Structure 1
């Protein structure tokens, strides 16, 4: 286990390796990925070759067995240069973590090795058109049929939809059951008959990560595709989010750090009134506030990652706090970075406007920051 206030030598070596990979093989394609709104295949290949595409998968299933902090460091360093590419390891963890937490060993051995090898990606199907924050009101339904199930309905806002081969999907399995305790989780394969995708969403940011609807029209599912126990799907989904919100927080820290790095480089070169603008106290104060916010968010993320690794009882609070703090920081820091570059910051000649657009989604997905505050308040009130 690692010290909460100091990363291990292994973590530091990992950061250096991911940063080198990101700068050499991912950063050069980031602007084009955004402009063309295409899945970053070059980044995916580079991440797979280095075993950074799904570092969380346990070693017994062919994975790297990275701890929660190591996974956060991978995501943070990739997000520093390309937020879209950072969603490869982030969404792979989100989609597959329900299996890691609750699936039978047979199900794990079927689906985790292809993920670990890079043959497949995993996505996560929870939200629906009319069931966003209120996940218990979902309408997607799995009806018993022989030894299996038949799935009907849809899921919205699904990251890497169409690119992933496997999907963890939540569906109502007992329409007459108690709300929230009548939902189960299943693995759906891209090749399953009756399973299709909606058109790609046209988004403000993270354009290289395709976001599409999942459409289910009488999709037959074998009985052994259920993840965990019947009726426990929503509980498992929320438990999953307690862990994966920390990875979104890491993504937000990475975006913010990337924006700060570019702003620092610019103000040290740009001259006005006969001197570098970095020499002006007003600029220095902005930079100090930005750096202070980024480092505060990073420390909270790392503490939350340690709690995720241990499965601490207060993880729901710390996961929500890290996600909320880091994403608000990313939005503020990227906006300030654009301001520091002035007109240049508003153009695509520099990556700041992309980073600002990418940062916004971190305040929204895996639970809006308003919902994070609800989660934190409930935890506080429970004592």
Structure 2
């Protein structure tokens, strides 16, 4: 499998680096002051051709592939900026709607996600479940040409931003049938929808993550995504792609932690010599680099499977997470240790990178769920 970067790939990286240098300082300054995303953030992404990456051009997309998307994800991940989350979400939800939606649904909901005028969300998690569709309590009850939704979703990113979300429900009209999870595209500003305040998170500073409360929310039947009662496969496919994007950004965070440590190791003088040349510290750098490189290569391999639509991509994305979570978290821990007491200070970037790295083990399906997916696939494959 060839991982050599094409001229297009190199141009994408160059563009992403320019975006990170020119736009992210202002974005992060806004987020630090307001503890929220700038209201115009998605339009900034759109201006830089970063939305609709793998959406056909006729629906307002770029018509690129997922490999180019993760190249951008890695560059954004290096900055430690939380703005990577809405970038992921608009791209992944637009692609998901393109894959499962009717022509009418695609034309209605995808272009606003590509031009940045709408914010996307994906909503499965509830107070009592994060992975089991049988435990869903957000109900959808048929009423004429509509469904009435009641219940609560938890930890939903960008939920209170104007735009559309894919919400997974227990479809009461399918009661007694083997599958009763139906996915609806919901206008998040619909009457009857309210939100909690933001959750205060360990990392991902300024992330807009909250609960969503549905009280007799009316959603047209035409907004069903995919087939009624068969919403869970939509979630599984979406989250497999989300894992790859998340891991790519995490690799970027690990690369940044390594680079910060190299810089510190050359600048900090101990006993008349740069600290990094002491054997213990040089060994740490060697370990950090090999861990980052291993995760990057598996990430590239996995996204190639996604772009080539190869069977087994979903399990491969779980294997990627099984590797990436502990290795990059350890890289970021080593970076903090490399900096000594300074690494525990918010004045140094490695502190933020470490906190951000911790989210990858519990968000977009936990590490343990992914071990189960990968392990069961190994046992059952023929």
TM-score (norm 2): 0.94
Matched position secondary structure for 1:84? coil
> What corresponds to 2:265 in structure 1?
267
- Per-residue Cα deviation, 1:185-236 (whole angstroms, up to 9, x for no partner): 1011022111121111011011222100111111001111000111110121
Match for 1:335 among 308, 318, 333?
Answer: 333
- For the residues of structure 2 that align with 1:64 and 1:220, how far apart are their CA atoms? 33
CA contact (8 A) 2:203 2:359 kept: yes
Q: CA RMSD in A?
A: 1.8
- For the residues of structure 2 that align with 1:45 and 1:274, how far apart are their CA atoms? 51
- For the residues of structure 2 that align with 1:89 and 1:71, how far apart are their CA atoms? 10
CA contact (8 A) 1:38 1:210 kept: yes
Matched position secondary structure for 2:361? coil
Q: Write out aligned runs for 1:114-125 (5 A).
A: 114-125=112-123
> What corresponds to 1:296 in structure 2?
294
For residue 35 of structure 1, report the CA deviation from its aligned partner.
7.0
- For the residues of structure 2 that align with 1:34 and 1:380, how far apart are their CA atoms? 44
| 2:52 equivalent to 1:60 | no
Match for 1:188 among 186, 189, 209?
Answer: 186
- Per-residue Cα deviation, 1:263-288 (whole angstroms, up to 9, x for no partner): 11111111111110121121111111
- For the residues of structure 1 that align with 2:300 and 2:357, how far apart are their CA atoms? 19
Unpaired stretches in structure 1, ≥5 consecutive residues? none
- For the residues of structure 2 that align with 1:164 and 1:352, how far apart are their CA atoms? 33
Matched position secondary structure for 1:80? helix
- For the residues of structure 2 that align with 1:6 and 1:177, how far apart are their CA atoms? 52
Question: After alignment, is 123-132 or 135-144 more displaced?
Answer: 135-144
> What corresponds to 1:177 in structure 2?
176
Match for 1:285 among 261, 283, 286?
Answer: 283
Q: CA, structure 1 residues 320+342, in 2 after alignment: closer, same or farther (shift >3 Å)?
A: same
CA contact (8 A) 1:98 1:237 kept: no
Matched position secondary structure for 1:218? strand
> What corresponds to 1:243 in structure 2?
241
CA contact (8 A) 1:250 1:326 kept: no
- For the residues of structure 1 that align with 2:317 and 2:167, how far apart are their CA atoms? 22
TM-score (norm 1): 0.94
| 2:94 equivalent to 1:96 | yes
- For the residues of structure 2 that align with 1:42 and 1:335, how far apart are their CA atoms? 34
- For the residues of structure 2 that align with 1:245 and 1:144, how far apart are their CA atoms? 33
- For the residues of structure 1 that align with 2:119 and 2:217, how far apart are their CA atoms? 20
- For the residues of structure 2 that align with 1:177 and 1:284, how far apart are their CA atoms? 62
- For the residues of structure 2 that align with 1:44 and 1:312, how far apart are their CA atoms? 31
- Per-residue Cα deviation, 1:36-89 (whole angstroms, up to 9, x for no partner): 532155764542220214423321211112201111111111111034111122
CA contact (8 A) 1:4 1:302 kept: no
CA contact (8 A) 2:52 2:95 kept: no
CA contact (8 A) 2:302 2:320 kept: yes
Unpaired stretches in structure 2, ≥5 consecutive residues? none
Q: CA, structure 1 residues 43+279, in 2 after alignment: closer, same or farther (shift >3 Å)?
A: farther
Q: Write out aligned runs for 1:372-383 (5 A).
A: 372-383=370-381
- For the residues of structure 2 that align with 1:113 and 1:73, how far apart are their CA atoms? 23
